[in-house]
Amino acid sequence: MAQVHPTAVVYPGARLHDTVEVGPFSVIGPHVVIGAGSRIGPHVVIEGRTTLGERNHLFQFCSVGAAPQDLKYAGEDTELIIGDDNQIREFVTVNLGTVSGGGATRLGHRNLLLANSHIAHDCEVGNEVLLANGAALAGHVVVEDAVKISGLVAVHQFTRLGRYAFISGGSMVTMDVPPYCTVQGDRATLVGLNTVGLERGGFTEEQIGRVKEAYRILFRSKLSLQDALAQLRGELSSHPEVDHLVRFVETSKRGVTR
C-alpha cells in the first residue's frame, strides 16, 4: 500500500502505486493516477483528471490539476498528463486543459519547475525544461526540449519556444523564439545563440558551427526571411539541427522573434 500520512485525504477512486508517498495534509482527488516512486510533499493538492508518471517529486504547497483559468471553461472532462522524473517546487500551479485547446495540458520528463512558476491550460512542455522562479506560461504555449526559462519571464499565449532556447530573466515573450537562440527584454528580442546550452546538450563543434551559420543567414544577413530559408535549404539541408530550425521558422503562426 502507498504510504499516506494520516492527515492526508485520498479520495476513493484515486490510483496510487504501492511505492507512492503522500505527506501530511495533502489532498488527492478521485480521478488522480500517480506512478511508482513518486513523492507528494505536505499540503499538496492534486485534483482533476491528472496522471503523474514515475518518480515525480511534488513539494509543499503546489497545486496540480486545478481547473483552467479560462472563462470559457465550464467543467468539461479535460486532463493533465505529466511524465516521469519531474520536480515541481513550492507554490507551482499547473492547470488542466480545455476542450477548445485539445483537452489536455502535457508535461514531459525530467523537468524542473521552480517556486511560483505557472503552466496554464493546454500547454505542451517537452523534456528537460527549466522554469525558474515566477516564470509563467499562458495558455496553449508549446515549449520544446531543453529550453531554459529564467525568473519572472512571461510567455504570451499560443507562443512556441524552440528547443535549447534560453529566455533571459524578466523577458516578456510575445513571438515564437527560434531553437538554439537567446532572447531578452520587453518585448523580447534576439541577442545571440545559446552556445553554452548546445555544448552541455552534447552538440558537436561541427553541429554548433552549422547552427551559427544558419543563425547568421537567418538573422544577420540582409536577406528576406524567405530568401534566407531558401539559402539554408540549399546549403545546409540534410543536417537535423538546421532542418529543425528551418521547419520551426516555416511553421510559425505568430512570427519569430528577430
Convert the pLDDT of each residue in 122-160 to its tens digit. 999 999 999 999 999 999 999 999 999 999 999 999 999
Which tens digits make up the pLDDT trace of 66-75?
999 999 999 9
240: left (phi over 0), alpha (psi -120 to 50) or beta: alpha
CA distance 202 to 13: 43
Q: How confident is the model at residue 64 (pLDDT cuts 50, 70, 90)?
A: very high
State the residue for C-alpha cell 529564467.
150
Contact between residue 190 and residue 209 where contact means Cβ atoms under 8 Å apart: no
CA angle, residues 36, 38, 40, in degrees to nearest 5 = 145
Q: Out of 31, 121, 140, 244, which one is annotated catalytic?
A: 121
The DSSP letter of residue 100 is G
CA angle, residues 239, 245, 246, in degrees to nearest 5 = 85
- pLDDT at residue 115 is higher than 90: yes
Give this prediction's pTM. Answer: 0.97
Cell triple for residue 73? 471553461
In the chain, how many H helices and how many E strands? 4, 28
Which tens digits make up the pLDDT trace of 67-102?
999 999 999 999 999 999 999 999 999 999 999 999
- Reply yes or no on whether 126 is catalytic: no
Scanning the chain, the segments in alpha helix (DSSP H) are 195-200, 205-215, 225-235, 240-250
Scanning 7-114, the segments in alpha helix (DSSP H) are none
The mean per-residue pLDDT over the stretch 106-114 comes to 98
Q: How confident is the model at residue 1 (pLDDT cuts 50, 70, 90)?
A: confident
List the domains of the chain with CATH numbers. 3-143 (2.160.10.10), 198-251 (1.20.1180.10)
Contact between residue 65 and residue 40 where contact means Cβ atoms under 8 Å apart: no
Q: Out of 41, 48, 65, 122, which one is annotated catalytic?
A: 122
Contact between residue 140 and residue 158 where contact means Cβ atoms under 8 Å apart: yes
**How do beta strands 104-107 and 79-82 pair?**
parallel
Q: Out of 35, 83, 139, 151, which one is annotated catalytic?
A: 139
pLDDT at 66: 98
Nearest Cα residue to 177 out of 220, 212, 142 = 142
Which tens digits make up the pLDDT trace of 203-213?
999 999 999 99
Q: Which residues pair with 46 in a beta bridge?
A: 28, 64
CA distance 113 to 3: 25
pLDDT at 237: 84
- Reply yes or no on whether 139 is catalytic: yes
- Reply yes or no on whether 186 is catalytic: no
Mean pLDDT, all residues of the chain? 97
